[in-house]
Amino acid sequence: MLPLSHPDRIEPDSPQPRRSLRPSQPSAADVLRYGERYADLRDRRLAHTLIIEDAVEEREEISAHERITCHVHRRWSHECIASPMHIIPVTGHRWCRRCEAEASVAVDEVTGSVTVVCTRCRQALETAATRQIIRTCRASLAAAHESRRARVQAQDSAAAAA
């Protein structure tokens, strides 16, 4: 359990109710320290989550594999998991050890399902690293949806006020 967990932010319709989401607002000190890299991102919730995760990762409270955002690509995890940079044979992330071949990740944005399949044997991988990919991609998918919903709501209320 992370010390930063915010159980009050979990919504009843969240596909990942067990995962404790981190707070959506980074501290001013963390924005100062990590924010510049994400200053141009239009999705501010994404930027805030990147800043929070950079900070907690540097404090060694989570590993890079547990993040729902990607520091390298500056995206939600499910959006760049297809990049070759996320194939890590040493840890077994997107890697079938039996075939020594890479695995592909299919993310269904509508149903929220995430599957990891070896490109050679076509089997779904059943490893701890794979379960971690599925967990983080589902959580990032949910966070991205929540962010989109919040932006639409903000646009609607801005239009209503105009």
Rounded Cα gap, residues 52 and 61, in angstroms: 11
Structure tokens at 53: 């995760």
Structure tokens at 69: 């955002």
Shorter beta-carbon distance to Zn ion: residue 73 or 151: 73
Kindly list the residues in this chain that would bind Zn ion in the complex (CB under 5 A).
70, 72-73, 80, 96, 99, 118, 120-121
CB of 5 to Zn ion, least distance (A): 24
Shorter beta-carbon distance to Zn ion: residue 100 or 156: 100
| 3-state per-residue secondary structure call for 41-64 | CCCHHHHHHHHHHHHHHHCCCCCH
Rounded Cα gap, residues 132 and 140, in angstroms: 12
CB of 32 to Zn ion, least distance (A): 24
Shorter beta-carbon distance to Zn ion: residue 31 or 116: 116
